[in-house]
Amino acid sequence: MQQIIYFFLRNKNFLLFFVLFLISLGLTINSHSYHTNQFVDSANFVSGGIYSLKSSVTDYFDLKEQNSKLAEENRLLQLQLQNLKVQVPQLDSENLPDSLVSIIGAKVINNSYSKTKNQLTINKGEKEGVTIDMGVISPEGIVGIVSHLSNHYASVQSILNTNSQVVAKFKKSNHFGTLVWNAQNPGEVQLKEIPRVANVALGDTIVTDGRSTIFPEGILIGTVKDFSIEEVGDYYNINVRLFTDMTSVKHVYLLSRKDAQEIKELEKEAEDVE
C-beta of 56: minimal distance to another protein in Å? 12
Give whichever of 7 and 85 is closer to another protein, judged by the CB atom. 7
Q: Report d(CA 128, CA 256) in Å as an integer.
A: 13
Q: 5 with 12: CB under 8 angstroms?
A: no
C-beta of 26: minimal distance to another protein in Å? 7
Give whichever of 165 and 205 is closer to another protein, judged by the CB atom. 165
DSSP track, 9-71: HHTHHHHHHHHHHHHHHHHHHHHHSTTS--SS-SSSHHHHHHHHHHHHHHGGGGHHHHHHHHH
Q: Report d(CA 197, CA 173) in Å as an integer.
A: 11
Give whichever of 3 and 13 is closer to another protein, judged by the CB atom. 13
C-beta of 125: minimal distance to another protein in Å? 14
Give whichever of 15 and 77 is closer to another protein, judged by the CB atom. 15
Q: Report d(CA 274, CA 252) in Å as an integer.
A: 40
C-beta of 118: minimal distance to another protein in Å? 9
Contact residues toward another protein (CB under 8 A) are 12-14, 16-17, 20-21, 23-32, 38, 40-44, 46-47, 50-51, 54, 110, 112-117, 119, 121, 148, 155, 162, 183, 185-186, 247
C-beta of 106: minimal distance to another protein in Å? 16
Instruction: State the distance between the two ends of the chain, measured CA to CA, in whole angstroms.
Output: 58
Question: Rg (Cα) of the chain, in Å, rounded?
Answer: 23
Q: Report d(CA 34, CA 187) in Å as an integer.
A: 23
Give whichever of 25 and 229 is closer to another protein, judged by the CB atom. 25
